[in-house]
Amino acid sequence: MRFTIFQDSRQGDRSGNEDRVGYSYSRDVLLLTIADGMGGHMQGEVAAEIAVAEITRRFEQEARHKLRRPFDFLVSAIQSAHRAIVSHAVEHNLLECPRTTCVACVVQGETAYWAHAGDSRLYVLREGALIATTQDHSRVQQLIDAGEITPEMAARHPDRNKIFSCLGGVVPPHISLGHEVKLQVGDTVLLSTDGFWAQIPPTIIASMLRKQPITTLLPALLVEAQRRAQGESDNLSIVAMTWENQSDASVADTQALEDQQFTSSTNSTQHLGPSGNALDDVTDADIERAIAEIQDAIRKVPR
């Protein structure tokens, strides 16, 4: 697979950053994840962190070759992220369970698959147009769908921050599945949180992408999005991928990776595991690898 990735997460004008983004890929499969921890709830950033970490962990366990059923994986990984957040809340005796939105996208065999809960978005942009998007699990989207308000009114609606599905909390998330989109060269899949998408319409991104690659365009658009919020910018985050010409040798090919090797990155700020120690002959990576092997063996042996 040959693709270009850009990701960034900015605090905006808030006192902390409750957004988390991440990607991970092996030779044959790519995962993009974004989560917007919910303000007004305790420890939104913890929920977002757990969501990205857990989905990535599951991905690295299960996508060492190919995912058999990408949609099943997405739903199961998001559900397990939800459970992990709830467990965290129970373990730490939190009065209120932290919550987060989540979008996760898998690209495998030139096809993109995605699933989401909440009002973080995914766009598929092709040749200057938006060809696919998630439908926000939000009150205003419901009102738009019912024809009661226009999309323009939604931006100023008092309930614009109300969402009806999220990870964490008492109710398990309502997870919507995207379409399967067969990618063409130059297609961009962009995941963003509302701090970004509320300021920059997808049509603008799509048309500007015809002239610039994501690596130069998106940093500029993040600055622009914050500027447009006039000193009240929410956290803004993006993770995006442009599908490249698969025979273009100037773009790195994931086939160069070793078998079962993963490259991943997130904007995680907390390191949950014990710190590394030179005396340790068992590293965190060893532990993860051992668990992945065992999981693999459990799945392989017919029961």
Interface with other proteins: number of residues (CB under 8 A): 26
Structure tokens at 288: 């993860």
| Least gap, CB of 170 to other proteins (angstroms) | 13
Total Cβ atoms within 10 A of residue 62:
20
Position among 69, 72, 87, 128 found at the interface with other proteins (CB under 8 A): 87
Contact 94, 87 (CB under 8 A): no
| Least gap, CB of 63 to other proteins (angstroms) | 17
Comparison of 155 and 294: residue with beta carbon closer to other proteins: 294
Position among 16, 90, 129, 182 found at the interface with other proteins (CB under 8 A): 90
Say what angle helices 202-209 and 214-228 make with each other, to 10 degrees. Answer: 150
What is d(CA 176, CA 101) in angstroms, rounded to the nearest whole number? 12
Using CB under 8 A, which of the segments 67-75, 151-159, 235-243, 294-302 binds other proteins?
Answer: 294-302
Phi, psi of 150 (to 5 degrees): -95, 160
Does residue 95 bind other proteins (CB under 8 A)? no
Comparison of 127 and 280: residue with beta carbon closer to other proteins: 280
The greatest distance separating any two alpha carbons of the chain, rounded to the nearest whole angstrom, comes to 64
What is d(CA 235, CA 87) in angstroms, rounded to the nearest whole number? 26
Residue corresponding to tokens 């200057």: 128
Structure tokens at 264: 């991943």
Position among 52, 91, 206, 238 found at the interface with other proteins (CB under 8 A): 91
Comparison of 91 and 258: residue with beta carbon closer to other proteins: 91
Chain CA centroid to CA 295, Å:
24
Does residue 83 bind other proteins (CB under 8 A)? yes
Residues 224-283 that bind other proteins (CB under 8 A): 273-274, 277, 279-282
Binding site for other proteins (CB under 8 A): 80, 83-84, 86-87, 90-91, 273-274, 277, 279-282, 287-288, 290-291, 293-295, 297-298, 301-303
